[in-house]
């Protein structure tokens, strides 16, 4: 496996996917850094979430 193959597989699984993570956050001169203890993917029902948002926005 080349680095590009590994990079592509990681991108497919993580980029633009909703995840839930727990861990510790630290801040330094370079910004925030998350030390993750646990990471899990989340499945979102897009239609239900859209209805919830519309209900919240409607006055």
pTM of the model: 0.46
- Residue-level pLDDT at 12: 84
What are the C-alpha distances in Å from 17 to residues 10, 11, 13, 24, 51?
11, 9, 7, 21, 20
pLDDT in tens, 1-59: 789 999 998 888 878 788 899 999 999 999 999 999 999 988 888 899 899 999 999 85
Model pLDDT, residue 59: 59
Indicate the helix (H) or strand (E) that contains 6.
Answer: helix 3-14
The C-alpha atoms of residue 49 and residue 15 are separated, in whole angstroms, by 20
Per-residue pLDDT at 24? 97
């Amino acid at each position: 496996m080349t680095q590009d193959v590994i990079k592509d597989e990681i991108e497919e699984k993580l980029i633009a996917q909703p995840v839930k993570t727990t861990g510790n956050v630290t801040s330094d001169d370079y910004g925030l850094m998350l030390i993750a203890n646990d990471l899990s993917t989340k499945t979102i029902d897009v239609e239900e979430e859209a209805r919830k948002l519309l209900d919240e926005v409607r006055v």
